[in-house]
Amino acid sequence: MRGPRGALGCLVAVAVVLGTAPARAAAEPDTRWYVPDQTKLQLAGWMGFLSPGAGYSWLDRRLEADLFFGWVPPPLGGEHIFSVTGKLTWLPLRFGAGKEVTVHPLTLSTQITYTFGSEYWVFEPEKYPTPNYYPLPTALRAALAVGGDVGRPLLGLERVSLYYELVTLDLLLGYWIGNGESLGITDVFSLALGLRLEH
């Protein structure tokens, strides 16, 4: 992967563009189709260290689709790790509608992360003796999460919320189901925290 300074530059540029989108759009009504419905910044959750994301929502904001860019720096991951994650979130319940503060007590999400680098592959390399030598691609990992959030209108934005998620990786969920004695819930679920800006 290219040098860390290039990556950091990209990360900062993306964060600035996404983060200022609501402020730049605030002057006029947000009817442009390409302006994201929400931008996010997530801590952890298998998708990177601090991952900026943006996406669109449907069904009165009950369904969100986001794309995140992930980077793990060497002090945290041992080496640079770059990825992109596509995430789908279902927010079926909302309380406090009409009042200032709103809560989503239960959210469910699923995500797929693609990790960049020559050591990771989606389509199996030719070198193996038989087709489908390994059962899963190494560049793609899925995760499932349950969570919740709390938010309110702020700074001219429709809603600013803080969210948390308990996230499990596809492999770990599979292992937990098959190994109930030796693996516990804390081995398999980890914490993610995030900020969501709804425009």
Q: What minimum distance in Å lies between the beta carbon of 74 and other proteins?
A: 9
Q: Is 44 in the site for other proteins (CB under 8 A)?
A: yes
Q: Site size for other proteins, by CB under 8 A?
A: 45
Report, in Å, the least distance between residue 64 CB and other proteins.
Answer: 21
Q: Both tokens of residue 14?
A: 């993306």
Convert 106-134 to b/e letters by CB count within 10 Å (16 or more is b).
ebebebebbbbeeeeeeeeeeeeeeeeee
Query: Which of 14-22, 23-31, 42-50, 101-109 is the region at the interface with other proteins (rule: CB under 8 A)?
Result: 42-50
d(CA 166, CA 194): 12
Among 11, 47, 54, 157, contact with other proteins (rule: CB under 8 A): 47
> Two tokens at 69?
């860019």
- The answer to whether residue 144 forms part of the interface with other proteins (CB under 8 A) is no
User: Which 8-state DSSP code applies to residue 121?
Assistant: -
Identify the burial level of 104 via C-beta atoms within 10 angstroms of its C-beta, where 0-12 means exposed, 13-18 middle and 19 or more buried. buried
Residue with the two structure tokens 């030598």: 133
Helix intervals (H) in the chain: 4-25, 74-77, 170-178, 185-188
79 binds other proteins (CB under 8 A): yes
Please report, as residue ranges, which positions from 145 to 174 form the binding site for other proteins (by CB under 8 A). 167, 169, 171-172, 174
**Residue of 14, 15, 43, 67 that binds other proteins (CB under 8 A):** 43
CB of 61 to other proteins, least distance (A): 27
Residues with Cβ within 8 Å of residue 82, at least 6 apart in sequence: 1, 7, 70, 71, 115, 116, 117
Q: Which residue has the tokens 């309380």?
A: 95
| Region of 1-9, 11-19, 72-80, 91-99 interacting with other proteins (CB under 8 A) | 72-80
Whichever of 20 and 179 has its CB closer to other proteins, that residue is 179
For the bound state, the minimum distance from the C-beta of residue 71 to other proteins, rounded and expressed in Å, comes to: 9
Footprint on this chain of other proteins (rule: CB under 8 A):
43-49, 70, 72, 75-79, 81, 83, 113, 115, 117, 119-120, 127-129, 134, 136, 138-139, 141, 167, 169, 171-172, 174-175, 178-183, 187, 190-192
